[in-house]
Amino acid sequence: MEIQLQELIDQIKKDGVQAAEAQAEAILTAAKTEAEKIIADAKAEAEKTVADAKAENERTVKSAEDAIRQAGRNLLISFRESVAKELKAIAGESVKAVYSSEAFAALIVKAVECWTAKPDAEDISVILNANDLAALEQTLLAALKEKMLNGVTLKANDNFDGGFRIAVKDGAAYYDYSAEAVTDMLSTYLSPRVTALLKEAE
């Protein structure tokens, strides 16, 4: 009887130890699995944080580069506009200087001479503002007569400040040599050349 009791105690101890060992093994396995999951999650989170930081940095760099490029374009556009404005002012001063000099009357006569040389030229009028007409009328009439350019009419029109216009066919069409028109024409001619020079300098 004592032997059976001892065997029973030994069996209980053995079963208890095995159960405890199995439970300990299960706890260790679960802990190891949980630890591996925590490490994997932490690693994934760290990689995501690094990737997000890298992407944000790239966005910031690109945004800064775009802003610098746009600022450069704006500066170049502003500079071109400033140069074009300055050129127009210079051209305008040059045109005014010619139109207020003694050469102005000779310029008008030469333009009329070129127009009357055309085979279909008829009924030509030279239109000036009232002040210029008053100052130049006698000189122009004498020069036109001397060149035998008869049939040319001088007329006053104060719709423009300086320069002249040549009208044909009783005003049906006219060609604008006013100070403003000539300045615009010179500016239009000069602007592409300035733009080309600026591109060469880039």
pLDDT (mean) for 42-47: 80
Q: Which tens digits make up the pLDDT trace of 139-196?
A: 888 888 777 777 788 888 888 888 899 888 766 677 888 888 888 888 787 777 776 7
Q: Which residues contact 37 (CB under 8 A, 6 or more apart)?
A: none
If pLDDT is split at 50, 70 and 90, which confidence band does 18 have?
A: confident
Domains of the chain: 102-201 (3.30.2320.30)
Q: Which tens digits make up the pLDDT trace of 98-114?
A: 888 788 888 888 888 88
Per residue in 122-138, is it b (16+ CB within 10 Å) or e — as a string?
eebbbbbbeebbeebee
The terminus-to-terminus CA distance of the chain in angstroms comes to 111
